[in-house]
A and B are shown apart, each in its own frame.
Chain A
Amino acid sequence: MTSPILNVENLKVAFNVGDDRWRQIVHGISFNVREKETVAIVGESGSGKSVSAMALMRLLPEQSTRVSGSVRLADKELLTLHEEQMRRVRGDDIAMIFQEPMTSLNPVFTVGFQLVEAIRLHRDISRADARMEAKKLLEKVRISDADTRLDDYPDAFSGGMRQRVMIAMALACNPKVLIADEPTTALDVTIQAEILDLIRTLQDEERLAVLFITHDMGVVAQIADRTLVMYEGNIVEQGPTERLFRSAEHPYTRALLAAVPRLGESAGHTRPMRFPVVDIETGKVDSPGESPDTVDDGRTVLEVVDLTTRYPITSGVFNRVILNVHAVEKISFTLKAGETLALVGESGCGKSTTGRSILRLTQPTSGSVIVNGNDIVSLGPKQLREARRDMQMVFQDPFASLNPRHTLGDAIKEPLYAHGFKKGASDRVADLLTRVGLTPDMSRRYPHELSGGQRQRVCIARALALEPKLIVADEPVAALDASIKAKVVNLMLDLQASMQLAYLFISHDMAVVERISHRVAVMYLGEIVEIGPRSAVFGNPQHPYTKKLLSAVPEADPSTRSKKRSLSTSTELKSPFRSVDYRPPARTYRTVSKGHQVQEWGEEWNKEFYCM
């Protein structure tokens, strides 16, 4: 075993919260990272994991933070190092990559220029040599046509490609330690898998020590040799990743692990499964069962037929249409009372537009959406308002979906008032708040006083106010921490059981989808490529894209890590932008088993899939 290259001893961080009052954010943590080792710091938002990383890079503002303890890189103490020398340490010895690849490159310079600058900042070599070096770096991070790509501007690179460039930049000076702060959180799962593979491979090649910060237990399982679990500024548990997943000791770790959906857990069950709930004090886990049978086959709540939504892209003085974005292209499905249909796909596949088109928050181009015998697409404003009583929406961002100026009570009353139910509205609000697991006295509070999970509960309460039959939930748990996510999903399952709600659950998270859904529809470039009962789609996926999506989900099980995928160059979503005269091809569907249909796919898929 090699000696630790990075040694952190009793690191404490406090923030100034005004008037000379200090709040302790990190309460003295100690850990080390060895050569060629990946150590993950995992924790939920506010646990102090990113602050710790910033502190050891000395990136926190000095006036408003107090850092104490010791951070040793090999035999250098970083916390007392002169700022000038510290600057050389960053990049030369320790490099860092961040979450947001879209904003970490300067859009007005070519990628090559920025790489060359980064190299020449640390090494005294000529421009031409630096360019050669930059080309090698791009090849190292598996960007094809490195030579020509150097002259491209960042806008020609997608999110995953930019993260590769950021990694290349981080590697420019052969650092000994790489700190990765949620580097894959903003990326789609298939891209995430590629980036994780890349980091793993580069680590072998470059003998890097990696400190990997994440909230995602699935990612941890895939990448980390050792794992530190942080909770409220303390490391509550640390150890080899395999041991941690096999037999976690601290209740919080168990809670975190219980909240991680594992793909395949629901195999053999046809109905949704509640998340297990862990008591954070005792660490006891309740055993979740299958939710009760809620589907009423006789009652169709929603019928979507050939729904198409296109956005024109216009240009020039006369707003000439130059391109069409085919966001949703001829999709059809039905939804029964008490049933959950999950709409899955990666960003840009049109799943959110589908949800918005169903409520006609976005005007569909053609097709029909039938709710209660009415075609939503062709209703007049008055009838539309009436029809929307049966369907409500829950949005992804719980911070933006409540008006900051209104109390929670006012927010929940809004739909009641809009439909003229003034009498008893306050009682109804109290009842709804109780139903979503909050207390009636919260109705006088403002959104900013609430946590993300609580806000999402309020949004659900507001959606339930008119007793709708259908709820379109657009990524309702994507912005929440794992433990909160589990609770909100459980709440949604309980509400479905008690109110026979139908959910259209839009999500990119395959593992959550597996828990909550009865049926699954996989979307790719605006079309449904596969739809069927959850057990069929997950157990017997047909379409190459479904297979790719499922295989990319990081499994929260370290023992599966050995089956490494080959390092493919980026395989990102194609663009839904089409010229004005584009006619979408006619599609045919093949029935695999009862209710399980898959779109027939062309040659391009066979090629792409098998070369992976």
Chain B
Amino acid sequence: MAAVSRRPTIAIGATLFATMALLAVFAPLLGTTDPTAINPTARLQWPSAEHWFGTDMAGRDIYSRVIYGARVSLIVGVSVALLASVFGLFIGILAGFIRGLDGVLMRIMDGLMSIPSILLAIALVALTQGSLASVITAITIAEVPRVTRVIRSVVLSLREQPYVDAAISAGTTTPMIILRHILPNTLAPLTVQATYLCASAMIIEAVLSFVGAGMPPSTPSWGNIMAEGRAIWQVRLNIVLFPALFLSLTVLAVNLLGDGLRDALDPRAQRNA
């Protein structure tokens, strides 16, 4: 904790991220109107006291939609970070511990990594219907290889440690060795990796929605809002500007958090601090 308080990046990132999370959770209370309510009499308005961020072509309130959009982004970001970490950890440990599986698993991971993650996600969503679950699944599959690589390399170097040899000769079973000696040492790199995953997942989700391969168009998500404002961004900049601003701030928050954690968890940095 002392390390956290000494690092302003963690504090700023965490505060910003917490604010976004609160917005998302309390969206029904903060939103001025129903984000999906259409009002043809109030189309394409500039920001005003009534519509803080203005309205879109269907007369929907952009402020409400952006606040609700935080839900989609954060759910996707956090879910992908958790799911990809869990799967990546699992596959990474398998690959690191079972020699026969290593070659096969890592070649599959290499294959997945050779496809740009956005393309891969679009292809995967195209196979199913656009829904929150399918978007999360698609991005998770695209991100798992990154985690797997990190975990596998950590496991391989830990396995060479004499204390692991000592545990083996002491009769400790392989699951116990993983639990006692391997897992605790993977947590630091995994946490750092998870924050970057979260940021990257939010961007991919926005891109998917933007190109129409993500959330259903009626769902308020930042990518959808920007997609709607795309055609007229030169006359009504506010439609694109506000969701983009929120996306940038959230991604910045998560990245700051990740950078701060990376420095705080690095034993070399700790010694200097």
Mark A residues whose CB is within 8 Å of B: 319, 356, 359, 361, 385-386, 388-389, 391-393, 395-397, 400-403, 405-406, 411, 414-415, 417-419, 459, 462-463, 465-466
**CB pairs A–B below 8 angstroms (12 shown):** A356-B165, A388-B169, A393-B165, A400-B163, A401-B165, A401-B166, A403-B161, A411-B163, A415-B172, A462-B166, A462-B170, A466-B170
Q: Is the CB of B163 within 8 A of A418?
A: no
Q: Which residues of B contact A415 (CB under 8 A)?
A: 170-172
Q: Which residues of B contact A401 (CB under 8 A)?
A: 161-163, 165-166
Q: Which residues of B contact A405 (CB under 8 A)?
A: 184-185
Partner among B162, B172, B181, B184 whose Cβ is within 8 Å of the Cβ of A418: B172
Q: Chain B residue with minimal CB distance to A394?
A: B166
Residue in A359, A393, A406, A418 whose Cβ sees the most chain B Cβ within 10 Å: A418
Q: Is the CB of A359 within 8 A of B161?
A: no
Q: Which residues of A contact B170 (CB under 8 A)?
A: 388, 392, 414-415, 418, 462, 465-466
* A356-B166 Cα distance, complex, nearest whole Å: 11
Q: Chain A residue with minimal CB distance to B165?
A: A361
Q: Which residues of B contact A393 (CB under 8 A)?
A: 165-166, 169
Given A393-B166, A414-B180, the answer on whether A400 and B161 have CB atoms closer than 8 Å is: yes
Minimum distance in angstroms from A480 CB to a CB of chain B: 15
B151-198 interface (Cβ within 8 A of A): 161-163, 165-173, 176, 180-181, 184-185
Q: Which residues of A contact B169 (CB under 8 A)?
A: 359, 361, 388, 391-393
Q: Chain A residue with minimal CB distance to B164?
A: A403
Extra pairs beyond A388-B171, A401-B162 (6, CB < 8 Å): A319-B103, A385-B171, A393-B169, A405-B185, A414-B180, A415-B171
Residue in B170, B171, B173 whose Cβ sees the most chain A Cβ within 10 Å: B170
* A417-B172 Cα distance, complex, nearest whole Å: 8
* A396-B166 Cα distance, complex, nearest whole Å: 12
Q: Which residues of B contact A419 (CB under 8 A)?
A: 171
Q: Chain B residue with minimal CB distance to A362?
A: B165
Q: Is the CB of A395 within 8 A of B165?
A: yes
Minimum distance in angstroms from A276 CB to a CB of chain B: 31
* A392-B162 Cα distance, complex, nearest whole Å: 13
* A359-B171 Cα distance, complex, nearest whole Å: 11
Q: Which residues of A contact B181 (CB under 8 A)?
A: 403
Which 3 residue pairs are nearest across A and B when measured between Cβ atoms?
A: A415-B170, A401-B162, A395-B162
* A331-B161 Cα distance, complex, nearest whole Å: 27
Minimum distance in angstroms from B183 CB to a CB of chain A: 11
Partner among B161, B166, B167, B180 whose Cβ is within 8 Å of the Cβ of A459: B166
Q: Which residues of B contact A459 (CB under 8 A)?
A: 166
Q: Which residues of B contact A411 (CB under 8 A)?
A: 163
- Categorize the interface residue count of chain B: 10 to 19
Residue in A359, A386, A395, A459 whose Cβ sees the most chain B Cβ within 10 Å: A395
Q: Is the interface of B mostly helix, strand, loop or mixed?
A: helix
Q: Which residues of A contact B184 (CB under 8 A)?
A: 405
Q: Which residues of B contact A397 (CB under 8 A)?
A: 162
Q: Is the CB of A418 within 8 A of B166?
A: no
* A465-B167 Cα distance, complex, nearest whole Å: 12
Q: Is the CB of B176 within 8 A of A418?
A: yes
* A385-B166 Cα distance, complex, nearest whole Å: 12
Q: Chain B residue with minimal CB distance to A392?
A: B169
* A385-B171 Cα distance, complex, nearest whole Å: 5
Q: Is the CB of A402 within 8 A of B163?
A: yes
Minimum distance in angstroms from A365 CB to a CB of chain B: 16
Minimum distance in angstroms from B176 CB to a CB of chain A: 7
* A463-B163 Cα distance, complex, nearest whole Å: 12
* A227-B171 Cα distance, complex, nearest whole Å: 49
* A400-B171 Cα distance, complex, nearest whole Å: 19
Q: Chain A residue with minimal CB distance to B168?
A: A361
Q: Which residues of A contact B163 (CB under 8 A)?
A: 400-403, 411
* A417-B170 Cα distance, complex, nearest whole Å: 9
Q: Which residues of A contact B171 (CB under 8 A)?
A: 385-386, 388-389, 415, 418-419, 466
Q: Which residues of B contact A391 (CB under 8 A)?
A: 169
Q: Which residues of A contact B167 (CB under 8 A)?
A: 414, 418
Given A403-B181, A405-B184, A405-B185, the answer on whether A414 and B172 have CB atoms closer than 8 Å is: yes
Q: Which residues of B contact A385 (CB under 8 A)?
A: 171, 173
Q: Which residues of A contact B165 (CB under 8 A)?
A: 356, 361, 393, 395, 401
Minimum distance in angstroms from B266 CB to a CB of chain A: 15
Q: Chain B residue with minimal CB distance to A412?
A: B170
Minimum distance in angstroms from B64 CB to a CB of chain A: 48
Minimum distance in angstroms from B273 CB to a CB of chain A: 10
Residue in A414, A419, A459 whose Cβ sees the most chain B Cβ within 10 Å: A414
* A396-B103 Cα distance, complex, nearest whole Å: 32
* A470-B115 Cα distance, complex, nearest whole Å: 54
Q: Which residues of B contact A396 (CB under 8 A)?
A: 162
* A56-B167 Cα distance, complex, nearest whole Å: 46
B241-257 interface (Cβ within 8 A of A): none
Q: Which residues of B contact A418 (CB under 8 A)?
A: 167, 170-173, 176
* A528-B146 Cα distance, complex, nearest whole Å: 47
Q: Which residues of A contact B162 (CB under 8 A)?
A: 395-397, 400-401
* A586-B185 Cα distance, complex, nearest whole Å: 47
B99-118 interface (Cβ within 8 A of A): 103
Minimum distance in angstroms from B103 CB to a CB of chain A: 8
Q: Chain B residue with minimal CB distance to A387?
A: B171
* A60-B163 Cα distance, complex, nearest whole Å: 34
Mask, B20-48, CB within 8 Å of A = 1, is 00000000000000000000000000000
Q: Which residues of B contact A386 (CB under 8 A)?
A: 171
Q: Chain B residue with minimal CB distance to A416?
A: B170
* A401-B163 Cα distance, complex, nearest whole Å: 4
